[in-house]
Amino acid sequence: MRKRPFLVYLVNLFMGIIEALILLRIVLKLFGANPYTPFVQWIYNLTMPLLSPFRNIFPSPMIQGQYELELTSIFALIVYGFLSYFLVQFILMLNSGGDNRRR
């Protein structure tokens, strides 16, 4: 069994943290968390740069005037998931190509 390159673990860790933060933002918005509490502000401020490329792609519908479904964040979560997958596959492809040349 082959050992995965360390870079794959780093990519998975980094992208996992990004996706967890965005997912937490989605849950906080969906449940109408108080945006003035320090933790919620910290999550919103931390995820703002991650979502800026996707800003205003989709509207964010309000449910019962209080709960917000951030479709932009859901779309960003999907895009980051695909990006993570393709980046890991690219690293594995480069790694396997290097092994074949050594034989």
Tens of pLDDT, residue by residue over 52-92, are: 999 888 878 887 877 888 899 999 999 999 999 999 999 99
With CA atoms as reference, report the closest residue to 44 among 54, 35, 56, 52. Answer: 35
User: Residues 85, 92: contact at Cβ < 8 Å?
Assistant: no
User: Residues 1, 16: contact at Cβ < 8 Å?
Assistant: no
- 66 vs 50, which has greater pLDDT? 50
Per-residue pLDDT, 99: 54
Can you give 66-78 as a three-state secondary structure string?
CEECCHHHHHHHH
DSSP state of 58: S
Which three-class secondary structure state does DSSP give residue 62? strand
Give CA separation, 99 vs 12, 65, 86, 93, in Å: 22, 57, 20, 10
Residue 35's region, left for phi above 0, alpha for psi from -120 to 50, else beta, is alpha
**Pair of tokens at residue 90:** 């690219």
Per-residue pLDDT, 46: 96
- 99 vs 97, which has greater pLDDT? 97
